[in-house]
Amino acid sequence: MKDLPSRKQNRLKDYDYSQEGAYFITICVKDRHEMLGTINVGANCVRPVLLSEYGETVESEIAILSETYATINVVCHVVMPNHIHMIIIINNAETTSGRTQFAPTISRVIKQFKGSVTKK
């Protein structure tokens, strides 16, 4: 059996990833296949990546994230041919009843996002 490469742990031990704050997220396509789009090579390129059908699905699902969770705001993102970058801000929101609505963890948000993207 071939030994699998060890992955670098990229999360802080004992950190609460539902805390308020800004989080930089990178999600890579399996095996780095360039299936989300192609680089638009041109002199006056307005859109650097021409999105594929898969890339368009990713783009629309990113827009839905802020609507799905009242405490989550995707402030900026970029879809590249083989990966995605997002900056997500968590703000625990106070409801009209005076109770605080706590945000889900970043892991839960990304899990839901990945599930939505792969089902379409």
Q: pLDDT by residue (tens digit) across 60-93?
A: 999 988 888 888 899 999 999 999 999 999 887 6
The topology (CATH level 3) of 21-119 is Alpha-Beta Plaits (3.30.70)
Half-sphere exposure of 23 (CA within 13 A, CB side): 24
Measured over the CA atoms of residue 36, residue 67, residue 87 and residue 102, the dihedral's sign is negative
Find out whether 90 and 66 touch, Cβ atoms under 8 Å: no
What pLDDT is recorded for position 37? 94
Q: Which tokens in the block code for residue 82?
A: 């083989």
Question: Residue 108: what pLDDT?
Answer: 87
Give the pLDDT score at 80.
94
Provide the 10 A C-beta neighbour count for residue 65: 19
Q: What is the pTM of this model?
A: 0.78
Low pLDDT (below 70) residues in the chain: 1-2, 4, 7, 42-46, 93-100, 120
| pLDDT at residue 17, as a whole number | 78
